[in-house]
């Protein structure tokens, strides 16, 4: 909510014309997009909006974050093999 208040304060208190960038995903939403269009915001496509879930999974077979001793062995292997 604060992100919208900051923009409103900028527009009211700044004597210069202020332009805003808005995520393209938000630009096409009903209320936020209508307001963004009304104040002349520019839509920007972001990489995280275009990301899609893939079929694979990432894992570290030698690292279990629940065991504290594994963290020490991971940090040692990263720094000693560098």
pLDDT per residue as tens digits for the range 28-81: 999 989 988 988 899 999 888 888 877 877 666 665 555 555 556 655 655 555
Q: How many domains does the chain have?
A: 1
Asked if the structure places residue 79 within a domain, the reply is: no
Asked if the structure places residue 29 within a domain, the reply is: yes
Count CB neighbours of 53 within 10 A.
5
Asked if the structure places residue 38 within a domain, the reply is: yes
Residue 10 clears pLDDT 90, i.e. is over it:
no
Asked if the structure places residue 7 within a domain, the reply is: no
Does this model's pTM top 0.95? My answer is no
Asked if the structure places residue 10 within a domain, the reply is: no
Asked if the structure places residue 53 within a domain, the reply is: no
pLDDT at 82: 47
pLDDT at 50: 80
3-state SS of the chain? CHHHHHHHHHHHHCCCCCCCEEEHHHHCCHHHHHHHHHCCCEEECCHHHHCCCCCCCCCCCCCCCCCHHHHHHHHHHHHHCC
Range of the domain at 27: 18-46
């Amino acid at each position: 909510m604060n992100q919208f208040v900051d923009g409103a304060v900028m527009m009211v208190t700044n004597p210069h014309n202020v332009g805003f960038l808005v995520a393209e995903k938000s630009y096409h939403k009903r209320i936020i997009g209508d307001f963004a269009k009304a104040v002349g915001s520019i839509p920007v496509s972001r990489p995280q909006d275009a990301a899609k879930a893939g079929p694979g999974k990432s894992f570290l077979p030698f690292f279990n974050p629940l065991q504290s001793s594994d963290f020490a062995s991971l940090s040692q292997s990263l720094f000693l093999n560098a």
